[in-house]
């Protein structure tokens, strides 16, 4: 199957499973090797890519959370 993926994304294949991996190695989706279609794999890849691209454009948010049991110490 020839699939057009976003830059850095890749497919790892074995006889049973197709794994869609992001450029940093994160698992984005898994597909049955027997039932996966080119369209489904491409659509999933591009849908996952767009939010990641948007996050890179915005300033990172930092949240500080209190650890349980440390309140008032």
Domain count of the fold of the chain: 1
Q: With contact defined as beta carbons under 8 Å apart, do 30 and 20 qualify?
A: yes
pLDDT at 68: 58
DSSP per residue, 2-66: -----TT-EEEE-SSEEEEE-TTS-EEEEEETTT--HHHHHHHHHHHHHHHHHHHHSPPP----P
Are 48 and 24 contacting, i.e. CB atoms less than 8 angstroms apart?
A: no
Tens-place pLDDT, residues 10-20:
999 988 999 99
pLDDT in tens, 21-62: 998 899 999 999 888 899 999 999 999 887 655 555 545 555
What is the model's pTM? 0.65
In a domain, 70, yes or no: no
Q: How would residue 73 be classed by pLDDT, with cut points 50, 70 and 90?
A: very low
| Domain-embedded: residue 40 | yes
Structural domain of 51? 10-56
Radius of gyration of the chain (CA): 18
Domain membership of residue 4 (yes or no) is: no
């Amino acid at each position: 199957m020839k699939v057009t993926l976003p830059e850095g994304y890749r497919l790892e294949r074995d006889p049973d499973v197709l794994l869609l991996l992001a450029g940093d190695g994160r698992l984005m989706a898994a597909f049955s090797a027997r039932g996966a279609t080119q369209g489904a794999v491409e659509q999933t890849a591009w849908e996952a890519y767009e939010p990641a691209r948007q996050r890179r454009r915005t300033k990172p948010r930092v949240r500080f959370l209190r650890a349980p049991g440390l309140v008032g110490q």
